[in-house]
Amino acid sequence: MARIPLEERRRLLIAATLTVIERDGIAGATARRIVQQADMPLGALHYAFENVEDLLAAAADAVTDNERLAAERGLAEGGAAPDLTDLLVAGMERYVDLLKARPGHELAFLELMLHSSRARLDAPPAPGRYEASYEVVAALLAQAADAAGAAWTRPVRELARHTVSTLDGITTTWLADHDDAAALATARFHAHALTALTTPA
């Protein structure tokens, strides 16, 4: 009978949920499978969360709050190319590599996001779902332009949303056709489209 603080138990359950969804899809994310993955008894779930739907919502928030941001931050690592286009192309290509390496991971993100977005279809004005993503990507774009000695001709926040949208599109399209080369081409196309919106600083 492991005694675990409530908050920590919630964290563990959310992590287990993400693992299950990556493996079995959101349709396979049942209460029993989640607690088995977390190595907990069934009752533990309803002690930590009101119901399964609440757990899924918490998992969706965790994805946009943490998991996804970590991946996005990783896109900028490494290369210190002086050319802005090269920088952006490299970042985009890195995302495609990440997608190919763990397709179930990205698929899980999308499944969770769509699932939670359905609940609020005819509902309140969206909360800050993708907000954190936009800000992380905006910081990356600003930093890239800086490193290359260029300046954006549009607000980075706006460009960040375009970029996030682009990454989502690359993901769904690749999941549909599994065409690696085409995904890279699409990634490069968007990278070039972005650099068209800069001027030498």
Q: Which does 52 bind (CB under 5 to 8 A by kind): DNA, a copy of itself, none?
A: DNA
Q: Report d(CA 167, CA 159) in Å as an integer.
A: 12
In the stretch 6-45, what mask flags binding to a copy of itself with x, by CB under 8 A? -------------------xxx------------------
Quick one: which of 43, 82, 124, 127 contacts DNA (CB under 7 A)?
Answer: 43
Q: Which does 170 bind (CB under 5 to 8 A by kind): a copy of itself, DNA, none?
A: a copy of itself
Quick one: which of 26, 31, 110, 139 contacts DNA (CB under 7 A)?
Answer: 31
Q: Is 3 in the site for DNA (CB under 7 A)?
A: yes
Nearer to a copy of itself by Cβ, of 13 and 107: the residue is 107
To the nearest 10 degrees (0 to 180), the angle between helices 84-101 and 180-195 is: 150
Quick one: which of 13, 14, 18, 44 contacts DNA (CB under 7 A)?
Answer: 44
Give me the half-sphere count of Cα atoms (radius 13 Å) on the Cβ side of residue 166.
28
199: which strand partners?
Answer: 151
Quick one: which of 23, 51, 128, 165 contacts DNA (CB under 7 A)?
Answer: 51
Strand 198-200 with 150-152, pairing: antiparallel
Q: Is 189 in the site for DNA (CB under 7 A)?
A: no
Quick one: which of 4, 42, 151, 193 contacts a copy of itself (CB under 8 A)?
Answer: 193
Q: Is 131 in the site for a copy of itself (CB under 8 A)?
A: yes
Task: Name which of 79, 193, 95, 190 is nearest 143 in CA terms.
Answer: 79
Q: Report d(CA 59, CA 54) in Å as an integer.
A: 9
Q: Is 33 in the site for DNA (CB under 7 A)?
A: yes
Contact 140, 91 (CB under 8 A): yes
Exposure letters 113-122 (e unless 16+ CB within 10 A, then b): bebbeeeeee
Q: Is 118 in the site for DNA (CB under 7 A)?
A: no
Q: How far is the CB of 122 from DNA (least distance, A)?
A: 21
